[in-house]
């Protein structure tokens, strides 16, 4: 095949894809990060498709899992220059930020993160565990010792459990 034939075939392939796509289409996720994804429609790959979400404060991030199907919207009305994912069938992360509150559900690591005004739930729980481990109380004979070993074991188990689900 000559170079001209190759160019002609490529143009025809692009034209066929353009006829099939429309303004809204379904595609498979090839890769994804916190802002964009690459998606496959047939043999064609669209790169840097924006996630419908906005990762700035007040935004919502829905990161699709690689291999999942997504609905893509063409905001450039057929020019395929401004594509956004508006729906995904299998998210791997959902993150919401609103007025200093952040909620992060991470399906990859199986953990949840929550922060409000710069204070994370994980840090708060770590502080509670440290306070309980070092707890002393006043007695007529002076300050008591630290909690009994059974209490320390229970607090250590508590720490292990919350660290498995919080990030």
Query: pLDDT tens, 84-120?
Result: 999 999 999 999 888 888 999 999 999 999 999 889 9
pLDDT, tens only, 1-15: 578 877 777 666 665
- Residue 150: pLDDT band with limits 50, 70, 90: very high
Token representation of residue 127: 């502080």
Q: What is the mean pLDDT of residues 32-50?
A: 91
Report residue 1 as tokens.
Answer: 């095949």
DSSP string for the chain: --HHHHHHHHHHHHHHHHHHH-SEEEEEEEEE-SSEEEEEETTEEEEEEEESS--STT-EEEEEPTT-EEEEEETTSSS-SSEEEEEESSEEEEEEEETTEEEEEETTTTEEEEEETTEEHHHHHHHHHHHHHT---EETTEE--SPPHHHHHHHHHHHHHHHHHB-
Whole-model pTM: value is 0.71
Whether 16 shows a pLDDT value over 70: the answer reads no
Ordered domains of the chain (ranges, CATH): 3-91 (2.40.50), 118-165 (no CATH)
Nearest to 40 by CA among 93, 2, 3, 83: 83
- Tell me what percent of the residues of the chain surpass a pLDDT of 90: 45
pLDDT at 148 over 90: no
Residue 57: pLDDT over 50:
no
């Amino acid at each position: 095949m000559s170079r001209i034939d190759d160019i002609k075939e490529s143009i025809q392939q692009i034209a066929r894809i353009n006829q099939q796509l429309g303004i809204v289409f379904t595609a498979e996720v090839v890769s994804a990060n916190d802002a964009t994804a690459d998606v496959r429609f047939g043999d064609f790959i669209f790169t840097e498709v924006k996630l419908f979400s906005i990762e700035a404060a007040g935004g919502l991030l829905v990161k699709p899992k690689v291999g999942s199907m997504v609905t893509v919207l063409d905001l450039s009305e057929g020019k395929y220059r401004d594509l956004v994912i508006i729906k995904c069938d299998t998210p791997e992360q959902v993150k919401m930020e609103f007025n200093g509150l952040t909620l992060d559900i991470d399906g990859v690591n199986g953990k949840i993160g929550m922060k409000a005004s710069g204070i994370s739930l994980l840090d708060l729980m770590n502080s509670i565990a440290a306070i309980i481990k070092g707890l002393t109380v006043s007695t007529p004979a002076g300050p008591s010792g630290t909690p009994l070993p059974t209490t320390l074991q229970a607090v250590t188990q508590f720490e292990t459990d919350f660290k498995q689900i919080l990030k």
